[in-house]
Chain A
């Protein structure tokens, strides 16, 4: 009563794909440079991650552009980065992609200067790692800055998106490097990455629960958002897609993978990997679609 409460129709699948791909790319890149820093013997993994991360972020951009009302003017998005998050993201993504392409170009193909000069490579990795982290944080802050949607107006959405970016990033890197990882000698690294993803998924679950509980008690509009996700028309997508496919089944599969590695490993990894990626996409879409825009109808003078 006294408020017009409607789910926002403006940002849906296209933006969900954009946020998902940007987050996953940033996550894969971050994992790659961590591997390069602390596990230099698995160089194929960090090379794959740098390539994969840069490509995924580039692939996300067309989804943002096709969502615009005037697609041919998309370069104007960079005019006002001082205050607007769409504009800030424009530059964060641009710098990340340029540095990512330099990273690929001088390490893997066509030049191999960074192969021998490890110090220079690590400097570049760390600098672009900051931008990769920026991309992941930006996907959350973009939504957080939309103040008429109370469901997004919390720092928890930033934390949730960063953790989801890392968990989808790890698993996309595992899937991308599968042919290397299942070879003899790769099992140790594979199990390490799977264990890390297991922990990330656990944290993601906790943050998601905390986020929903907080939002259920915040405002009337954010309560409606939580309701439509957990009990309303998005419940199948949320419980079936995000929770069951994206978190619970992969968690069970991974527990088997990590603690009982004599099972058919590649198949398990493939199934749970695809499920995690689907869950990450559906998480973005669910949060976007459940974003209730609250506009007051009555003044508060009575």
Chain B
């Protein structure tokens, strides 16, 4: 069992529904975003394009953060997810400096509302002074639900499933549509895959092949 996510860069429109859905579901403190969409402008006028890159914890198979965690607060569970035990974290911030994907943040545990509003089932977990990051909504997985960012995506750019099962939707998408990992050269083997956009080299190969097949 190895949970993974596939994000179709062709379908992402940069609407941040995932960022907000994550914030609501996980009740993250102000200033903390476990899920985010980066907007990048590329090229020079008149040949300019804007790319949207949704980002979250890559749930690496061989995570850099675990190697520097001196408290064993960061650990890998049986489903291959990288988790943080907020009861154990001392907030030394070494993992933030070790993660090459920049998905971890330390927070002071502030709240949006001055009074205690019951909000989400994970809110009480956010201890001030500890490091936090995306959990793939592991509390939803037990109920058989998908992560909040996946079900909130209006363009179904995100897919979630078991990477170790070759017949799962995610495995098929990765196989059929040239799914790639974000900077695999870091050597951490992320569980988040991206499907190449049309403008990219891989995308050009895929869409040429696809139109060729249609003509047949």
> Which B residues are in CB contact (< 8 Å) with A296?
100-101, 182-183
Which of B38, B88, B96 contacts A10, CB < 8 Å?
A: B96
Contact check, A147 vs B92: say whether CB atoms are below 8 A apart.
no
Report yes or no: B90 in contact with A68, Cβ–Cβ below 8 A.
yes
Chain A's interface size range is: 35 or more
Assess the B196–A301 pair: CB atoms within 8 A: yes
Q: Which of B18-26, B122-130, B153-161, B162-170 is found at the contact surface with chain A? A: B122-130
With a cutoff of 8 Å between Cβ atoms, the chain A residues found around residue B131 in the complex are 69
A76 / chain B contacts, CB cutoff of 8 Å = 70-71, 73, 88, 90
Interfacial chain A residues near B102, Cβ < 8 Å: 4, 148, 293, 295
Which residues of chain B have C-beta atoms less than 8 A from A86's C-beta? 68, 70, 92, 94
Per the 8 Å Cβ criterion, residues 41-86 of B in contact with A are 42, 51, 53, 64, 66-73
A84 touches B94 (CB 8 A): yes
State the interface size on chain B (CB cutoff 8 A).
Answer: 46
Q: Which of B40, B67, B194 contacts A83 (CB 8 A)?
A: B67
Which residues of B are found within 8 Å of A294, using beta-carbon distances?
A: 100
A214 sits at the interface (CB 8 A): no
Whether B70 lies near A79 (C-beta < 8 A) is yes
Interface of B is mostly: loop
The residue of chain B having its C-beta at the shortest distance from the C-beta of A152 within the complex is: B97
B40 CB contacts on chain A under 8 angstroms: 2, 297-298
* B97-A149 in contact (CB<8A): yes
Choose among B51, B69, B89, B99 the residue that contacts A80 (Cβ–Cβ < 8 A). B69
- Kindly list chain A residues whose C-beta atoms are within 8 Å of the C-beta of B106: 10, 69
Cα distance A297–B99 when bound, in Å?
A: 14
A146–B73 Cα distance when bound, in Å, is: 17
Please give the distance in Å from A241's CB to the nearest CB on chain B. 24
Check if A87 is an interface residue, CB within 8 A of chain B.
yes
CA A4 to CA B183, docked complex, whole Å = 14
Q: What is the CA–CA distance of A68 and B200 in the complex, to the nearest angstrom?
A: 43
Given A69-B106, A84-B94, A302-B200, A148:B67 Cβ within 8 A: no
Q: Does A74 lie at the interface of the complex (its beta carbon under 8 Å from any beta carbon of B)?
A: yes
Q: A2-B40, A145-B68 are in contact. Are A70 and B130 (CB under 8 A)?
A: yes
Which residues does chain B contribute within 8 Å of A299, judged by CB atoms?
9, 53, 180, 182-183, 194
When distances are taken between beta carbons in the complex, the residues of chain A under 8 Å from B90 are 68-70, 73-74, 76-77
Segment 149-191 of A: residues with Cβ below 8 Å from B: 149
The answer to whether the Cβ of B201 comes within 8 Å of any Cβ in the partner chain is yes
Chain A contact residues, CB within 8 Å of chain B = 1-2, 4, 8, 10-11, 67-70, 73-74, 76-81, 83-87, 90, 145-149, 291, 293-302
Q: Which residues of B contact A (CB under 8 A)?
A: 9, 38, 40, 42, 51, 53, 64, 66-73, 88-94, 96-102, 106, 127-131, 180, 182-183, 185, 194, 196, 199-203
